[in-house]
Amino acid sequence: MLRNSNSRGGFGSGMVVAVVCVCVCVVAMEYGVRVTEGEEYFKPFNVSYDHRALILNGKRRFLISAGIHYPRATPEMWPDLIAKSKEGGADVIETYVFWNGHEPVRGQYNFEGRYDLVKFVRLAASHGLYFFLRIGPYACAEWNFGGFPVWLRDIPGIEFRTNNAPFKEEMKRFVSKVVNLMREERLFSWQGGPIILLQIENEYGNIENSYGKGGKEYMKWAAKMALSLGAGVPWVMCRQQDAPYDIIDTCNAYYCDGFKPNSHNKPTMWTENWDGWYTQWGERLPHRPVEDLAFAVARFFQRGGSFQNYYMYFGGTNFGRTAGGPLQITSYDYDAPIDEYGLLREPKWGHLKDLHAALKLCEPALVATDSPTYIKLGPKQEAHVYQANVHLEGLNLSMFESSSICSAFLANIDEWKEATVTFRGQRYTIPPWSVSVLPDCRNTVFNTAKVRAQTSVKLVESYLPTVSNIFPAQQLRHQNDFYYISKSWMTTKEPLNIWSKSSFTVEGIWEHLNVTKDQSDYLWYSTRVYVSDSDILFWEENDVHPKLTIDGVRDILRVFINGQLIGNVVGHWIKVVQTLQFLPGYNDLTLLTQTVGLQNYGAFLEKDGAGIRGKIKITGFENGDIDLSKSLWTYQVGLQGEFLKFYSEENENSEWVELTPDAIPSTFTWYKTYFDVPGGIDPVALDFKSMGKGQAWVNGQHIGRYWTRVSPKSGCQQVCDYRGAYNSDKCSTNCGKPTQTLYHVPRSWLKATNNLLVILEETGGNPFEISVKLHSSRIICAQVSESNYPPLQKLVNADLIGEEVSANNMIPELHLHCQQGHTISSVAFASFGTPGGSCQNFSRGNCHAPSSMSIVSEACQGKRSCSIKISDSAFGVDPCPGVVKTLSVEARCTSPLSDDFFQEAVSSF
C-alpha cells in the first residue's frame, strides 16, 4: 500500500510503491503486447468478455480508447496522432468505417490515401495499441449522408435500416468486404493483429420504433449476420437496449456512469464519451470543461465501467464535401484533446493523461473484483471500493502488508459545495462535482477538479515570408499589419444558367439528389415565364408584385430572373415566398438549389432528399396563379468550373483574366493565385474571413466548403463553470462572429513555393485579403502547489521489484512542454510563493522566492520540456514558513522559423 498519508488524503514521506504498480506492469507483460517488424504485431490472443470486462488472452482489461477518424486527417498525420494518443494514456484506437468513401461507385472500392484503412489499423498496432473497428456501416458522425453512398438510394425497392431485402443484401456485402479484408490482412487479435472489437449498426435504438416490427426484425438480422462472418472477436451495438444475447449493448452520452447493459453477462462499456460537440454554420462554438469530462470518466469506472472511448480524441477536418447535414461546418475539431491541426489541447490532454495514469494504478483491483462495495459518505458523497485477495504466480508479495489489493473512488456529486468526508478512519476533502482516486484505498493521487497540467495558449499568426522571398518575386503584400496571400489574382465568371449540352428538359420538378447523385452541391432548374402588358398594368394599378412560392426547400435556394440574382433562402425544408420583378415578354426564371452536407442522422434517410419539395407556383397574376410544378424545366447538374476542373493544376482555361484590386465583388466567380508557405512543421491554415461562401482547393486538393455565416450575438459565457451536468449550449464562445474563418491545409498537400489556390466564391468576397496563418502553442503556463499530488508517471513506471521510492520522487512537480519543433525561448513569469491570477495574467503575491525566475529559466530555457520540483529546497529558501506555496510559470515557445526571427531578418535590410 502507499503509506504515510496526511490528513487530507495527500502524500507524506518515505512511501513505498504499492502492489498496484507491480500488478500493472506484470499484467501488461502477460497480455502479450509485442510489437515486431513482421505482420504479427502481438502474440496471437483471443478476446472474450464476462459481466465485468473484456477478457484479452484470458485476463480482464480495463481500457481507454481514443476516437480518430482516418479520413479526417491525412496519412502523413496518422503516426503523430496515434503516438499522442498512446502518450496520453490510450490503450485502443477507435474509428468508424465510411462506406461512401470506400465504395463511391457500386462495386468499385477505394482503400487508398485517406481511406487506407489497413494502413491506419497497422499504424495503431505498430504503436502497441489495440483497435476498435465500428463498421456500422451507418456511421452518422456528422458525415455526408451518415456514411451511406448516395447510389444506395437508387437500388430498386430499397428502404434503409429496416427489414428490407435489397438493403440487407447491400449492407451484408459491404460489411463482409471489410471483415474479410481485415482477416486477409491478419489484423484480428487471434491472428496477431490489434482488432479486439467490432460494431454492427450505430445508435439504431434511437430510431428503431420508427420502423415498427420491421425495425425489430432488422436489428436481430444485423446481429445474426455480423456473428455469421466469423470475425472471432466480440461485436457491440451502441444505444441498443434490446441487443441480442451475443451482442454487447453500449452507451453513447455525456455521462454513462448510470448505464447498465441488458444482461448481467455483458460488461459495461461506453462507446462514445462526447468530450465536445459538433458545430453548424451560423452557430456558436461549444466547449466541454476538462474537469467535467474527467469527472464523467472517473464516475464511469467508479460505478462499474470497464471500457471507455473518447468521441473524439482527435476530430480533424471534413475535407472536400464530406461534412454532413444540415449545415455541418468544415472543421470537426470537436474541442477534442488533440485539436483539428494535430496539436495538443492543454490542459484537456494533460489532465486526462493524469487521469488515465491514476486509473491504470487501479486496474489490478478493478480486474480482480466482480463488483465494488458502496459506502455512503454524506448526503451527496459516496465511495466505491474495489478490494480482493490476489495471487500472481511468480510475484513475491512478502514486501507488502498483505496479498490484498484495494482501490477506491471518493465522489462528491454536490454541484456547489466542497465536502470533507471520513473514509477508513481518514479525512478527505473533495471539491464539488469531483472524484478523488485512491489506488491503494489510502492516498489520493488524482482529483478530477484539480488540474495541474499546463495550459497552452494557441496563437494563429500571419506568415511573414522568408528573407529570400522578399525581393523581387515576393507575392505576399503587407497592409495594416496583415500579410495577405498574394497581390496577383486571376478570375473568371461562372455562367448563371444552363451551360452545357448535358442539360435536359422534362416536365415537372425532379428531386435534387435523383438528378445530381451528389456529384455536386449544385443543381440548376430553368423555365420561361411569359408576362403580358396587362399583367404589368395589373400589378401597377393594384400596387402588388408577383411572388414565387415553394412548399419546401433545403439547404440553399438562389433565385435568378433573367440572369440577375434576386433572392437567397437558407433553411431545412422551409417554405419560400420570394417577390419577383418581371419584364414584359418572356422571362427566364432560374433556380439554383445547393446542398451543404446531406442529412446524416434520423430515420428514413433515403427519403429526405434535397432541393425542392412540394408545389411551386407564382402568385399575383391577373388571371390567377401559375402552377410551375408541371411546367417544362431544363436541368443542369453542377457548375461549369467544376466540370472543367478549374481547380486542377493541369487546367488551361483561357477565360482567366487578371483581377484588379478595385473590382466589385460578384457572385459565382472563380479566383486563383499562387502562394508560398514557410518551412517547418507548424500547421497551416488559410484565413477566409474576407470571403462570403464557396469552396476552395489547394494544389488540386479540396480543402472544403467555406462560409462566413455569423453566429448569434448572445448565448456565450465569459466564464465557464465546470460544475453541474454539461450540455452542448453550456460553455459556448464566438458569439456574433463567423462560425469558421480558418481552414486547415495539411502540410503534405503543400510545396515550399508556388502552391495553387483556387476558390469558387458564391456570394461575393475579397480574395486580396486572404492570408496564410500558422498554428502554434507559443504561450504555455502551469501552476502547481506543494499540496498537489506527486507525478503520476513515476508511480506508474515504478520499479518492478517494489523497492522503496524516495520521498524526493514524491514531491509535486511542475511540467512544461512545447509542441514538436519548438523550444522554451523565454520565461515571462515565475513565482514560487503565493502568486495570484491565471495564465497570461499572473501576479506576485506577498510571498515570493527571489530565485524563482533564475531557477525556472535555468531549468527550462532552450529545452523542449522541463520540470521543477515544488519544494523549498528547489528554490533554496522558504519564502514564507507555514504557508502552502505555489509555483506559477508563464513561458514562451518558439521555433527557428518564428516571427521574431523573421522580424529581425527583415529589419537588417
Residues facing 462 on adjacent strands: 773
10 Å CB burial of residue 256 (0-12, 13-18, 19+) is buried
Q: Is residue 199 within 8 Å of residue 134, measured between CB atoms?
A: yes
Q: Is residue 851 within 8 Å of residue 794, measured between CB atoms?
A: no
d(CA 856, CA 832): 10
How long, in residues, is the chain?
A: 909
Q: Is residue 832 within 8 Å of residue 886, measured between CB atoms?
A: yes
Angle CA 264–267–270, to nearest 5:
130
Q: List b or e across 740-756, with b for residues whose CB sees 16 or more CB atoms inside 10 angstroms.
A: bbbbbbbbebbeeeebb
d(CA 145, CA 159): 14
Query: Which three cell numbers, joined as nine digits, stand for 560?
Result: 435568378
Residues facing 507 on adjacent strands: 632
d(CA 270, CA 266): 12
- The 8 Å CB, 24+ separation contacts for 721-726 are 721/289, 722/289, 722/290, 722/291, 722/292, 722/295, 722/433, 722/449, 723/292, 723/415, 723/416, 723/432, 723/433, 724/415, 724/433, 725/254, 725/255, 726/254, 726/288, 726/289, 726/292, 726/296
Helices (H) and strands (E) in the chain, counts: 16, 44
d(CA 84, CA 790): 22
Fill in the DSSP letter of residue 664: P
Largest CA distance in the chain: 106
Q: Is residue 587 within 8 Å of residue 572, measured between CB atoms?
A: no
Measured between alpha carbons, how far is residue 394 from residues 43, 193, 391 in Å?
Answer: 21, 28, 9
Query: Which three cell numbers, joined as nine digits, stand for 444?
Result: 489520493
Query: Up-side HSE of residue 59: CA atoms within 13 Å toward CB?
Result: 20
Query: Which one, of 314, 356, 269, 328, lies nearest residue 95 by Cα?
Result: 314
* Strand arrangement of the beta sheet that strand 657-659 belongs to: 657-659, 489-493, 669-675, 755-761, 693-698, 701-707
Query: Which one, of 765, 758, 748, lies nearest residue 697 by Cα?
Result: 758
Q: Tell me the chain's radius of gyration from C-alpha atoms.
A: 30
Fill in the DSSP letter of residue 210: G
* Residue type at position 172: K
Q: List b or e across 209-224, with b for residues whose CB sees 16 or more CB atoms inside 10 angstroms.
A: eebeeebeebbeebbe
Q: Is residue 737 within 8 Å of residue 711, measured between CB atoms?
A: yes
Q: Is residue 352 within 8 Å of residue 342, measured between CB atoms?
A: no
Phi–psi pair at 322, nearest 5 degrees: -85, -15
Peptide bond into 625 cis (omega under 30): no
Q: Spot the catalytic one: 159, 203, 363, 761.
A: 203
Other CB atoms within 10 A of residue 158 CB:
17
Q: Give yes or no: 203 in active site.
A: yes
Q: Give yes or no: 401 in active site.
A: no
Pairing between strand 813-817 and 693-698? unpaired
Q: Spot the catalytic one: 208, 272, 494, 606.
A: 272
Measured between alpha carbons, how far is residue 804 from residues 364, 399, 730 in Å?
Answer: 20, 10, 46
Catalytic center residues: 203, 272
